[in-house]
Amino acid sequence: MECLYYFLGFLLLAARLPLDAAKRFHDVLGNERPSAYMREHNQLNGWSSDENDWNEKLYPVWKRGDMRWKNSWKGGRVQAVLTSDSPALVGSNITFAVNLIFPRCQKEDANGNIVYEKNCRNEAGLSADPYVYNWTAWSEDSDGENGTGQSHHNVFPDGKPFPYHPGWRRWNFIYVFHTLGQYFQKLGRCSVRVSVNTANVTLGPQLMEVTVYRRHGRAYVPIAQVKDVYVVTDQIPVFVTMFQKNDRNSSDETFLKDLPIMFDVLIHDPSHFLNYSTINYKWSFGDNTGLFVSTNHTVNHTYVLNGTFSLNLTVKAAAPGPCPPPPPPPRPSKPNPSLATTLNSYDSNTPGPAGDNPLELSRIPDENCQINRYGHFQATITIVEGILEVNIIQMTDVLMPVPWPDSSLIDFVVTCQGSIPTEVCTIISDPTCEITQNTVCSPVDVDDMCLLTVRRTFNGSGTYCVNLTLGDDTSLALTSTLISVPDRDPASPLRMANSALISVGCLAIFVTVISLLVYKKHKEYNPIENSPGNVVRSKGLSVFLNRAKAVFFPGNQEKDPLLKNQEFKGVS
């Protein structure tokens, strides 16, 4: 009998050995976290418990620092990048994306094979073999005996078969996601996405871990591990962007007095969980203007005083949520004997329909319960003086000397409102204002009237777009105009004036020479006569000279300076 006991004990021990030796998912993916942590979370839809067995024969497990990692991929190591659209409002979906980054010169082709990029040289030089891994040939060889692919090695680590659909052979990576004591397996290519509903996820930061395997004949090899933190919250994730027309730097939360600020509310809801919810925005701008409630996500507000103000925003939305538990039934109290008969008599004379008891109604489950969710945003805003407006009120052509015949000088008379600028910048572009030709910035010293003249050079005739900006430490004010610069041809007044001076000088020398010759020829004394002919000749010469002056020295025919938004025509 004693021998029989020993024999039975040996059988029980032998039967238990495989269970003790088998690895479970939390042993492989748990990152050495105690198993008690895993039991505290609710079941995720479509996920499995990490208490299940892991098939280590098909999917070997390598610890961190194992030397086999160095040879897990031909040509180097594969890097896995894990991202998510966290934070997620509880009840919404959160999406995780894994992207594989291969060693240099390697990529995945249309058939799911890993190939070398053409004309790409890595440390090993150009490869004669175009394939890093030709999985198409491997799958044809390994599954040739079974065209459906229903072989024992086309399974996940827990033994579940791969999903067979058109093109499944092109998916050669196995991704195992692990969080909250549960796992999810997915067959994919070099990039996969997994979405999880957060209704049963514990609020706060959580950890997602991903292990990636690749095909290797009839087994699989680990190539990468990655993890990332995601957040589930019961507060609506709210962000606010602020924009003001002449503000120099919107990121410093310093804005200008007397100019509207546009506030735009962005709700982080990538899964569109709140698409059918009515969202209300309640604003307090901190300047004693009261509360402003709106259903529009944008609002404009103007601060009329300098100083520091506290901006507060509360967002409210009715979102799908869990129904509240029914209240506990009231504890029976000892009735007053004097009232017991009265109550019993009242209950028996006033029967009511079944279900009228409000306690009974609260126990009826409601599949469409709504719960108000809130989001908050706070900021401290500083309001200062700034340049509010700038205008070009006059443009004047400045005559250029002869050595620069192809250039034009234009004076812009500029006014501004608000604070006094300390710098001016001009950008000269083509008529479409898209191709920049010249940019000039310079400091300016402006009086309290904010009136200044800006002189700029234009190379050649044509139409130009001019952007003129006045700035100080906190603001930038811009104005734009189109200007037409005329040709500088030889018939321009300046060149005509130079030619007239030369011609008159030559004429004066000629007249002087003729006069000397006449004087030498007629040395004798001639009495002075009041001869009409001389007067006529004198008048004729005077008229000739006057006409010459009229031609070569025209009067000042400059037109009035062009005002703002008028086409500039130059000097006529």
pLDDT recorded at residue 329: 78
- pLDDT tier, 550 (very low <50, low <70, confident <90, very high otherwise): very low
Decide which of 126 and 444 is more confident: 444
Q: Is the pLDDT of residue 196 over 80?
A: yes
pLDDT recorded at residue 85: 95
As a whole number, mean pLDDT of residues 476-501 equals: 66
Is the Cβ–Cβ distance between 244 and 220 less than 8 Å? Answer: no
Q: What is the DSSP letter of 357?
A: -
pLDDT recorded at residue 251: 85
Q: What is the DSSP letter of 287?
A: S
pLDDT tens-digit readout, 333-389: 665 554 444 334 334 463 433 333 333 333 344 457 889 999 999 999 999 999 999
- pLDDT tier, 126 (very low <50, low <70, confident <90, very high otherwise): low
pLDDT recorded at residue 446: 86
Distance, in Å, from the CA atom of 382 to the CA atom of 255, rounded to the nearest integer, reads: 6
pLDDT recorded at residue 405: 61
β-strands 79-84, 173-179: how paired?
unpaired
Mean pLDDT comparison of 373-377, 409-413, 440-444, highest-scoring range:
373-377
**Helix and strand numbers, DSSP H then E, in the chain:** 7, 29
Decide which of 339 and 270 is more confident: 270
pLDDT recorded at residue 506: 43
| Mean pLDDT, the chain, whole residue set | 77
Distance, in Å, from the CA atom of 130 to the CA atom of 170, rounded to the nearest integer, reads: 17
Taking the model in full, what pTM does it have? Answer: 0.68
Q: What would the 3-class secondary structure string for 432-451 be?
A: CCCCEEEEEEEECCCCCCCE
Q: Is the pLDDT of residue 23 over 60?
A: yes
> What structural domains and CATH numbers belong to the chain?
41-121+129-136+155-233 (2.60.40.10), 238-322+369-384 (2.60.40.10), 387-485 (2.70.50.60)
Element (H, E) at 17: helix 2-21
As a whole number, mean pLDDT of residues 525-529 equals: 39
Mean pLDDT comparison of 35-39, 158-162, 335-339, highest-scoring range:
158-162
CB contact set of 95 (below 8 Å; sequence gap of 6+)? 84, 85, 193, 194, 195, 196, 270, 271
